[in-house]
Amino acid sequence: MTGMGSDINHRFARAYWYITAVVVASLMAVRGINHIGALKRLKAARDPASNPHPTRPNTLLSQLWATTTAIVREISLPQFFVPVRHLSWLTPPPLGRVLVLLVYWSVIAYFMSWHAVVHDVNFWERIGYRNAWVTLTQLPMIFLLSMKVNIVGFLIGTGHERLNWLHRWVARTMFVTATVHGFHFWTEWVLADFVELEMETMPMVKYGLGAWAILLWNVVIGFVPIRRLAYEVWVLQHVAASIAMLVLVYLHVPTNARFLFWLAVAFLVFDRAARWALLLWQNLRFKTGGSACQGRRRVGHQILARAVADTTTVVTIKDVHFAWTPGQHVYLWIPRLGPLEAHPYTIACARRIEGTCCCNSVQLILRKHKGFSKRIHSYASKNPEASLTGFLSGPYGAPPRWDIYETMVLIGASTGASFTLPLLEAAAQADFVGCVKRIEVLFVARTYREIEYYVQRAQKAGDALSQRGVTINIHVAITNSALGSDGLPLSRNETNISHITASSSGESNPKTAIKSSPHQDSSCCCTGTNADEKDTQEQQEKAISSLPVVREYTTRPDIEQLIRQPVEVAYGETAVVVCGGPEIVATTRNCVSRLSDERAVHKGTGAQGIYLHVEEYSF
């Protein structure tokens, strides 16, 4: 493949990776600057007398940085949502990602065509070779971006799930360049009446066609409606197909171009080895016994699954061996319920605090769909006392900090609350609340039963926070109908937990309602001695009298109002964290962008920044 124009082609291959290095280094620098800013804020927050609003920029340089950040956010957030049922997957990425893609495509188009389109005798061959190189150059990038133990993510401070969109788009781009490569050679052979001879004498052509066919297959069945038909089957065939493609690429390219192939293999092998190492490290114990919860296993973990509503299962995994930050997720593998499936779930509790739990358990909250989550729900319904053996891999993800913003708006739709609740609980459990002065929490679900468990925990966390001077409001929006789950109307009102419990679950005694929730925050999440129970009961009685206010809505929540109100009264920066489906995510993106633009954030009006963090729980 060295072929025609090999100097330029080599140079472009190197340039592609130099550009990548520069982009990663720049993002690392941005991360470093933001980290220093965060440390300064926290330092200032410890001395409120000297600086009551530590999240406001107070030097020319920090003001410049804040203005630039605000402009980048405003440009990158807007997203056009396709509100048509079954077609919402056609929703394009937010503007920021579209711009990134446009820049990427411009660079690739330049590489594909620079001094290649010359109408001479070598026209077909020159473009063919050039695009062979442009294609092969991108091959390692696809594997780099698909890594779960992701080096780029580690360097720039993001998770594998947030780089996955780029993996898909680079693969689609590579398909285009591979097609241009093949088309030009093929056309040349057709024009020279050479196709048959070429196929006979050059077996590498067949391997190339095979690799291209697999790439086409991966691109076509990678589109959302097909990919999500049976995601786990899709993953298995995708891995197998990609390895087959690598083998064919190896056979197709000449030796002097194989360094790019080996780079791709290195990324793949590193990722797999790291994942296996993590899996073994987190699921093997040399010591057994001794755990107060009897949950310790030599291989794997004891898993308790409890169905807490028609669509929700709470899974407790005992004796985990790792630390995590609130909002991170793990992959859960329970061979008995899905031998070849590992599913991502957010750890639905804040980081463990030393001495508060005897068995170091983590909790996951699973929404029932049609596959594994349905199987575990029905297992838990039929065997409420049984336990399972399962394996964890992770933790993965880079959730946002909760302590460096003055106001937090946490929006969780359905099990999206598993992402936002741990942030709230982390704030409630921390010794120092950092810069936080106000938190608005919104839970959205079709029925109250889906989120009852989250609301109760949020109230306890909210109580702890309000006692420390943080203003906290909890909003609950039930979108299914104008009626509560037991037929009582849920008019927009302000209420405490006893009203909610009475109107939603039919439970008349609020204390019982709280107690009956699984795994409440007692001194140990799994067992309770009588003394523990007494303590817990006393705490709960005390808590009920001071639980924070909950506002209920029977319609879709007005996200704009929810964000606007706290932003308009904030003296410092606001963080909006949203976790939910594509519609609520797009709405929130557009609201934040509009609000930031309308208020001319950091452009001389005094309006302060709005940071947005989005999680979608989907690939």
For residue 590, state whether it binds ligand FAD (rule: CB under 6 A).
no
Beta-strand relationship, 387-396 and 438-445: unpaired
Residue 343 CB neighbours (<10 A):
20
State which residue, 82 or 358, has the beta carbon closest to ligand FAD: 82
User: H-type helices in 46-121, by residue range?
Assistant: 60-76, 95-113
Q: Which of 346, 361, 503, 522 binds ligand FAD (CB under 6 A)?
A: 346
Residue closest to 601 by CA, chosen among 128, 71, 186: 71
Question: How much helix, strand and coil, in percent to the nearest 5, is found in the chain?
Answer: 55, 15, 35
Place of tokens 């933001």: 34
Positive or negative, the CA dihedral 610, 616, 617, 619 is: negative
Q: Which residue is nearest to ligand FAD (CB)?
A: 371
- For residues 13 and 136, is the Cβ–Cβ distance under 8 A? yes
Interface with ligand FAD (CB under 6 A), residue from 290, 370, 487, 545: 370
Smallest gap from residue 135 Cβ to ligand FAD (A): 29
The minimum distance between CB 520 and ligand FAD, in angstroms, equals: 19
Answer yes or no: are the C-beta atoms of 332 and 392 closer than 8 Å: yes
Distance CA 69, CA 47 (A): 26
- 270 vs 276: CA distance, rounded Å: 10
By CB under 6 A, is residue 329 in contact with ligand FAD? yes
- Burial group, residue 4, by CB count within 10 angstroms (0-12, 13-18, 19+): middle
Residue 594 lies near ligand FAD (rule: CB under 6 A): no
Could you tell me if 460 and 426 are in contact, meaning their C-beta atoms sit under 8 angstroms apart? no
Residue 583 dihedral angles phi and psi, to the nearest 5°: -70, -50
Return the residue of 125, 232, 560, 583 that touches ligand FAD, per CB under 6 A: 232
Q: Shortest distance, CB of residue 282 to ligand FAD, whole angstroms?
A: 17
Site string for ligand FAD, 129-168 (x = CB under 6 A): --------------------------------x-------
Residue 310 C-beta: closest distance to ligand FAD, Å: 14
617 interacts with ligand FAD by CB under 6 A: yes
**Least Å from the CB of residue 450 to ligand FAD:** 10
- Going residue by residue from 410 to 449, which x/- string records binding to ligand FAD, judged by CB under 6 A? -----x--x-------------------------------
Name the one range near ligand FAD by CB under 6 A: 66-74, 97-105, 122-130, 343-351. Answer: 343-351
CB 392 within 8 Å of CB 275:
no
Asked if 86 touches ligand FAD (CB under 6 A), the answer is no
Is the C-alpha dihedral spanning 583, 163, 106, 189 positive or negative?
negative
Q: Letter for the amino acid at 350?
A: A
- What 3-state DSSP class applies to 435? coil
Measured CA to CA, the distance from residue 361 to residue 418 in angstroms comes to 16
* Side chain identity, residue 156: I
Identify residue 530 by its one-letter amino acid code. Answer: N
Helix (H, G, I), strand (E, B) or coil at 388: strand
User: Between residues 16 and 345, which has the closer beta carbon with respect to ligand FAD?
Assistant: 345
Q: Is residue 511 a contact residue for ligand FAD (CB under 6 A)?
A: no
Stretch that binds ligand FAD, among 51-59, 339-347, 385-393, 493-501 (CB under 6 A): 339-347
Residue 367 binds ligand FAD, judged by CB under 6 A: yes
Report the nearest approach of ligand FAD to the CB of residue 343 (Å).
4
Q: Which of 174, 246, 305, 366 binds ligand FAD (CB under 6 A)?
A: 366
**Number of residues this chain uses to bind ligand FAD (CB under 6 A):** 24
Build a one-symbol-per-residue string for 14-53: x at contacts with ligand FAD by CB under 6 A, - elsewhere.
----------------------------------------
Amino acid at 522: S
Interface with ligand FAD by CB under 6 A: which range of 44-52, 228-236, 241-249, 462-470?
228-236
Q: Are 464 and 428 in contact (CB under 8 A)?
A: yes
Nearest distance in Å: CB 167, ligand FAD: 14
Among 14, 369, 492, 534, contact with ligand FAD (rule: CB under 6 A): 369
Provide, rounded to whole angstroms, the least separation between the CB of residue 464 and ligand FAD: 23
Is there binding between residue 583 and ligand FAD (CB under 6 A)? no
Of the candidates 344, 390, 400, 580, which one interacts with ligand FAD according to CB under 6 A? 344
Q: CB neighbours of 293 closer than 8 A, spacing ≥ 6?
A: 318, 319, 358, 359, 361, 524, 526, 527
Q: What letters, b where the CB count within 10 A reaches 16 and e where it falls short, cover 403-431?
A: bbbbbbbbbbbbbbbbbbbbbbbbbbbbe
Contact positions toward ligand FAD, by CB under 6 A?
161, 228, 231-232, 329, 343-346, 364-367, 369-374, 415, 418, 617-619
